[in-house]
Amino acid sequence: MTSRSGWAVFETAIGACGLAWGPKGLLGVLLPEGEAGRTRTRLMRQFPELAEAGPPDEISEGIRRIAGLLGGARDDLRDLALDLSLVGRFDADVYEEARAIPLGETITYGTLAARIGDPAQARAVGQALGRNPWPIVVPCHRITAAEGKTGGFSAPGGAATKLRILEIEGALDADRLPLFAHPPAP
């Protein structure tokens, strides 16, 4: 049975992710933190008014596409509906502009600030991205610090998770991967 609102845990190439939805679209996406039980617990805490449920077709399709992207599929997820009533206008503007960053590319916090009309707001952009309820769907991992630095990532695993997702999307060359991600020498 499907529900107009609820949450679900689903497996991906990087672990068990979670997703919550309501009548207006996605309410949140959670990246993995260890085993599926931890993701389930985080969903119950973050969305206490919702219950685990069978997702409707459009949410099932979103789950399939998110799992595909994390497995290396070329999908920008821009058309997945988000319930933007949960965030303020500034954050919504940041998220909308972040969703326009093409798969496999990155920009800096300052560039994103300039794109929303105020280059001096790079720090505020970073803070908005740190509050992003929809990581992956709103690709906050594609925004980096100045001078080629990775910048922060508020999801479990921090910058290592950010780098792993950028690697999956093809946005990193081998010279920017962390030491543990380099293939063994021949």
pLDDT, tens digit (0-9, with 9 covering 90-100), for 20-61: 999 999 999 999 988 899 999 999 999 999 999 999 999 999
Nearest residue to 112 via CA among 140, 150, 84: 140
Domain shared by 92 and 169, yes or no: yes
Count of CB atoms situated within 10 Å of the CB of 152: 18
Asked if residue 185 belongs to a domain, the reply is no
Residues 130 and 65 in one domain: no
**CA dist., res. 91 & res. 76, Å (int):** 20
Take residue 36 and report the two structure tokens written for it: 């599926």
Percent of the chain with pLDDT over 90: 73
- Asked whether residue 151 is assigned to any structural domain, the reply reads yes
One-character DSSP codes across 89-116: HHHHHHHHHHHTSPTT--EEHHHHHHHT
Does 108 score more than 70 pLDDT? yes
The H or E element spanning position 128 is: helix 122-130
Alpha carbons 169 and 111: distance in angstroms, whole number:
20
Instruction: Give the CA radius of gyration of the chain.
Output: 16
- Tell me, rounded to whole angstroms, the distance of Cα 65 from its chain centroid: 13
In a domain, 186, yes or no: no
Whether 140 is catalytic:
yes
Lowest mean pLDDT among 34-48, 61-75, 97-111, 142-156: 142-156
Tell the burial category of 4 from Cβ atoms under 10 Å away from its Cβ (0-12, 13-18, 19+). exposed
* Lowest-pLDDT range of 13-17, 124-128, 165-169: 165-169
The yes-or-no verdict on residue 180 having pLDDT over 50 is no
What are the strands, taking DSSP E only, across 3-151? 6-12, 15-22, 25-30, 107-108, 143-144
Range of the domain at 97: 88-173
In our burial notation (b when 16+ CB lie closer than 10 A, e otherwise), range 84-105 reads bebbeeebbbbbebbbebebee
Are 104 and 162 members of one domain? yes
How many independent structural domains does the chain possess?
Answer: 2
Q: Which of 9, 59, 140, 166 is catalytic?
A: 140
